[in-house]
């Protein structure tokens, strides 16, 4: 009689060191909404965090230079009528942030350099085009005023934020819920993951799926994918035995991974992040 023993991860003894009290933010009521998101976004000036709020959705914006205990009456960014699911800072303007919500809208906000005395309630522009909640937003990395949103209506929309107009809608490409969307470095391609267990690479200008991989990870839980160096794709997912996996793929040979690494056994979805400026 054989018994399978769960293989221990070689990362099991790796722990992060908490920063000192004067370098952290305290007393922030982070949102408890059920959604696989980091619930925060940071740029060279500010950190933004999605928080609990009565009567709608909100997030708090804090200057990086001022850490410590956060006043419970600190002004919030409030404009959505339902919980905020995702936020993203504009890469071309450190005072502009976009938010996506269960209320089916995307809002773009201008954040002042000073701490406002009351809640910010008026967005610069409100983008309406989704029929269900919007859980994903991502600014174009090189083109100004271009913002992507993806909703539970399985629709990906590109917006001109300057005019509030819809540039294009990528419909009929995803048969089920979209888990994540990411740009490549110059913004010419998108990578998406979906509940149908497929990773798609999309050319938005041609409105075509240029590469596709079914079941890059065999498990039933959500998959994530991002572009990394030299146009390669990095994925996170689960094996059949619910082990968390990391995968690296080459677009020119999408059938077999360059590498597939098992991490550990856990239910938590791994959210990948890539720093293009580091080696």
For residues 166 and 270, membership in a common domain is answered with: no
For residues 258 and 125, membership in a common domain is answered with: no
For residues 124 and 151, membership in a common domain is answered with: yes
For residues 216 and 241, membership in a common domain is answered with: yes
pTM for the whole structure = 0.91
d(CA 177, CA 173): 11
Torsion sign over Cα 186, 187, 188, 194: positive
For residues 230 and 272, membership in a common domain is answered with: yes
- pLDDT tens-place string over residues 261-272: 998 888 889 999
Contact 81, 131 (CB under 8 A): no
For residues 116 and 201, membership in a common domain is answered with: no
The number of folded domains in the chain is: 2
Question: Which residue range(s) make up the domain with 227?
Answer: 175-279
Over 50: is that where the pLDDT of 47 sits?
Answer: yes
pLDDT class of 91 with cuts at 50, 70, 90: very high
Choice between 252 and 193, residue whose per-residue pLDDT is larger: 193
Q: Point out which residues pair with 121 in neighbouring strands.
A: none
Dihedral angle over CA of 54, 55, 61, 62, nearest 10: -20
Mean pLDDT of 111-127: 95
Give the DSSP H or E segment for 252. Answer: none
Which CATH number fits the domain that encloses residue 149? Answer: 2.130.10.10
- pLDDT tens-place string over residues 158-208: 999 999 999 999 999 999 999 999 999 999 999 999 999 999 999 999 999
Nearest alpha-carbon partner for 234 in 224, 222, 244: 224
Q: Tokens 């303007």 appear where?
A: 93
Which CATH number fits the domain that encloses residue 189? Answer: 2.120.10.30
Token pair for 102: 């269960």
Beta strands in 161-222 (DSSP E): 165-170, 178-183, 190-194, 198-203, 208-214
Token pair for 201: 């690479």
Q: What is the pLDDT of residue 37?
A: 87
Residue at a domain's end among 147, 171, 195 = 171
Over 80: is that where the pLDDT of 279 sits?
Answer: no
For residues 72 and 180, membership in a common domain is answered with: no
Over 60: is that where the pLDDT of 256 sits?
Answer: yes
pLDDT class of 26 with cuts at 50, 70, 90: very high
For residues 248 and 278, membership in a common domain is answered with: yes
Token pair for 44: 């060279």
Q: What is the pLDDT of residue 1?
A: 43
DSSP code of residue 119:
-
DSSP code of residue 72:
T
């Amino acid at each position: 009689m054989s018994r399978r023993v769960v293989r221990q991860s070689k990362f099991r003894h790796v722990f992060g060191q908490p920063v000192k009290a004067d370098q952290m933010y305290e007393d922030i009521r982070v949102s408890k909404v059920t959604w696989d998101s980091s619930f925060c976004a940071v740029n060279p000036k500010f950190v933004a965090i999605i928080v609990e709020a009565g009567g709608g959705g909100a997030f708090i914006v804090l200057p990086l230079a001022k850490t410590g205990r956060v006043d419970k009456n600190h002004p919030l960014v409030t404009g959505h009528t339902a919980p905020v699911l995702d936020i993203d800072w504009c890469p071309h303007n450190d005072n502009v942030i976009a938010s996506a919500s269960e209320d089916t809208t995307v809002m773009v906000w201008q954040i002042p350099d000073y701490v406002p005395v009351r809640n910010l309630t008026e967005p610069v522009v409100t983008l309406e085009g989704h029929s269900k909640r919007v859980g994903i937003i991502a600014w174009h990395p090189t083109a100004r005023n271009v913002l992507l949103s993806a909703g539970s209506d399985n629709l990906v929309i590109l917006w001109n934020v300057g005019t509030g107009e819809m540039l294009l809608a990528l419909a009929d490409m995803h048969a089920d819920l979209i888990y994540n969307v990411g740009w490549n470095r110059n913004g010419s391609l998108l990578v998406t993951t979906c509940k149908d267990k497929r990773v798609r690479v999309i050319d938005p200008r041609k409105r075509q799926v240029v590469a596709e991989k079914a079941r890059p990870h065999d498990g039933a839980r959500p998959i994530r994918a991002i572009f990394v160096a030299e146009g390669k794709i990095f994925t996170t997912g689960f094996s059949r035995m619910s082990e968390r996996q990391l995968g690296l793929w080459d677009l020119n040979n999408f059938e077999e991974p360059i590498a597939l690494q098992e991490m550990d056994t856990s239910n938590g979805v791994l959210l990948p992040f890539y720093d293009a400026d580091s080696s």
